[in-house]
Structure 1
Amino acid sequence: MSLDIDKIILHSLRSGSDGQPQADTRSQTLTPDEAVQGLMAELHRIYNGKGGKGFGYFADGEESADAAEGDDAPKPASPLFRIALEQLLAGQSDFVPFSVSMTQQLVKTLVDHALDEQGVLLFAKYNYVGVDYLLVALLEGKESVTVSEALELSHIQYLDIGKLNLVARIDLTEWKTQPESRRYITFSKGRVGRKLGDFFLDLLGAREGMDAKLQNKGLLQAVEDYCATQQLEPQERNDYKKQVFKYCTEQASAGEEIEIRELSAELPGDNDLDFYSFIGKEYELEDRFPADRSTLRGLTKFVGSGGGLTLSFEQKLLGSRVFYDPQTDTLTIRGVPPNLKDQLTRSS
């Protein structure tokens, strides 16, 4: 197996009598047996394919640009996690006390952010295909029913590792070899608000670096501008965008990132101005970044919603089945989808 576990330990988070999160800690690491190896392999796979991640870097002591605006401005990032991690990697502390100390710090940060999280807290230092990682993940416990050999029902507890709502990972190799990078820390941001993202930035003493969604939007704009510069016909433009979309979604499905140079090599272009050369530094795109599927839909579809109306259709249909009149701000659709037509007919 290409995933090698160095150290792994489990602790527990529960709600105390006062309603605040409390920790129960373990005094020994786990033996990396078949069950533990299988768990880590699945966690690694799920996390690699997880969308909506934030990217950051250690920035202890660094003031936010808004720090002078008032008492509510972000405070300087704490160095506690970074210092403890450096001591661990330098052999100045052991994995168990490191994980216990960081669990206590995590509980304190949960209280500070008014988050009520419970479950099994996992710390793991592992290597995957030559890259060292530190993973911190809170795994939710679930209850289910199983059938015994005697065909009797009983309740069992299991870990719901598919959710991974509260998880962060540090690419130790990138941190060591590229300390100027602003993306060696990744963390779950959550779908509503910034609570989870702010929690991890506070816990790790980090600042948010690369914005993956913004990178994807920049890519879409660059593709649009390149097609205009090359004066592509509508069909050529659609084909070009479909190729970009195909590459990006295949990368996402494989758990890989979008590589701009690799993408450019797969796209048609004249010798004087290929896509990579066109982008240059003007679009401020990273050489690689994760695909954001919701943003990438804009390569092949027009999508919009507002005022109780949601519309989505293939861009190639504009001018053939879908017509927009900017003067009257109206959209005309020829050939209404049968299922929609049936609903409209029954409602009229």
Structure 2
Amino acid sequence: MPIDNSIVHQIHKKPDGQPASLTLRDAELAASEALEQLLAGLIEAYNSKPNKAWGYFHEESGAYPFSGWLQQLLDQELDFVGFSAKATEQLKTLMESSNLALGGHVLFIRYRQGMTAFLVIALLHHTEGVTVTDDLDVAAARHLDLSSLNMAARINLTEWKQNASAKNYISFIRGRSGKRVSDYFRDFIGCVEGSNPEEETNTLLQAFSDYVGEAELEPDALKQKTKALSGYVSSQARQGEQVALEELSGLIDEEQPRAFYDYIRHKDYGLAPEIPPDKRAVSNFMRFYGKADGLSISFEAHLLGERVEYDESEDALLIKHPPKGLIQQLRNKKR
């Protein structure tokens, strides 16, 4: 992933209601192996976050100036240092309105992945650890804690400039369980939440279920198509990429690559050509799981009707060819 520009600034703020202060860097970071490793680690940590939202820019205004500065950067009316400094000052101002906000190092990286340009912004914190030195001593070591990343956004610059009607070119980490502590970061970017990844993915999965149901496929064909869908959507989620319905359609049926895509269009499921994936929704779709009163049952969805049958009248499950290890335990218990 070639890096075009990068810089770090620092916001000093504790969650105690006191005013914040800034330390601004006056030059871009030099290219280095450490910087490349940081970007790789940051993207990996960001993509692993399940609680992301997707959206697009508010219309530029005094309340949402970020997109205007970004446009000036792309038009070369503002250099990267100036752009990042203005943005960090805006972030500091919004932080001061949140008593729970905690300062940190604000990292800006503009990079390319293939033909696509991205800007990633992250608020980073340090954690204390230990290391063994070259002299074989144990010493304290301070390092960036990417595992607890919870304030970050990524903007697909190429999509923003090439598709004026796009609704999913910004993604950002959203607070869990209704927490509002991260709202100031969303407002800093000036993002309007668009698609809901869980809802969009569930709609896609429902469309797939309808599609294969109407096709009355043989079990092996159904299993193959389900595996193709699951593998592609899960892979896109891991990479932080959107699901392209036309590409997915080709993977589901190589002989009729547009069949599923045309089915979605004609049935009007309300899905855009590209949607943000939700890994958890796909996982739930691929497995049945239940736990109660000391009994836990989990099995892959394609086994229903083959090795697992449900008798609704008796409210009972029949499991054929259960795992050998389980059978051996049951036999040992009888002895």
Do Structure 1 and Structure 2 share a fold, with TM-score over 0.5? yes
Structure 2: 5+ residue stretches without partners: none
Specify the alignment match of 1:210 in structure 2. Answer: 195
On the 8 A contact 2:58/2:190 being kept in 1, the answer is yes
Could you report, residue by residue, the CA deviation over 1:165-202 in whole angstroms, capped at 9, with x for unpaired residues?
Answer: 21012222222221221111111113332536633332
The structure-2 alpha-carbon separation of the partners of 1:336 and 1:277, relative to structure 1 and needing over 3 Å to count, comes to same
Q: Distance in 2 between matches of 1:53 and 1:280?
A: 26
Q: Distance in 1 between matches of 2:162 and 2:181?
A: 28
> Matched residue of 2:125: which SS?
strand
TM-score normalised by L of structure 2? 0.82
Instruction: Count residues in correspondence.
Output: 329
Determine if the alignment matches structure 1 residue 4 to structure 2 residue 23. Answer: no
Specify the alignment match of 1:315 in structure 2. Answer: 301
Q: Distance in 2 between matches of 1:77 and 1:342?
A: 68
> Matched residue of 1:145: which SS?
strand
The structure-2 alpha-carbon separation of the partners of 1:118 and 1:331, relative to structure 1 and needing over 3 Å to count, comes to farther
Mapping for residues 67-146 of structure 1, pairs under 5 Å: 78-146=63-131
One of 144, 162, 178 as aligned partner of 1:159: 144
Structure 1: 5+ residue stretches without partners: 62-75
> Matched residue of 1:28: which SS?
coil
| Aligned residue type for 1:140 | H
On the 8 A contact 2:167/2:195 being kept in 1, the answer is yes
Q: What's the offset of the Cα at 1:113?
A: 4.2
Specify the alignment match of 1:69 in structure 2. Answer: none
Taking only the aligned residue pairs, the percentage that are identical comes to 34
> Matched residue of 1:263: which SS?
helix
Q: Distance in 2 between matches of 1:45 and 1:254?
A: 8
| Aligned residue type for 2:66 | F
Q: What's the offset of the Cα at 1:284?
A: 1.9
On the 8 A contact 1:140/1:160 being kept in 2, the answer is yes
Specify the alignment match of 2:177 in structure 1. Answer: 192
Specify the alignment match of 2:265 in structure 1. Answer: 280
Could you report, residue by residue, the CA deviation over 1:100-127 in whole angstroms, capped at 9, with x for unpaired residues?
Answer: 3322322332343443324321122333
Q: Distance in 2 between matches of 1:216 and 1:60?
A: 28
One of 276, 287, 291 as aligned partner of 2:277: 291
| Aligned residue type for 1:59 | H
Q: Distance in 2 between matches of 1:18 and 1:256?
A: 37
TM-score normalised by L of structure 1? 0.79
Q: Distance in 1 between matches of 2:19 and 2:223?
A: 53
Q: What's the offset of the Cα at 1:130?
A: 3.5
**CA-atom RMSD in angstroms:** 3.5
Determine if the alignment matches structure 1 residue 238 to structure 2 residue 236. Answer: no
The structure-2 alpha-carbon separation of the partners of 1:325 and 1:21, relative to structure 1 and needing over 3 Å to count, comes to farther
Q: What's the offset of the Cα at 1:237?
A: 2.8
| Aligned residue type for 2:73 | L
Could you report, residue by residue, the CA deviation over 1:308-330 in whole angstroms, capped at 9, with x for unpaired residues?
Answer: 97643122332454332334544
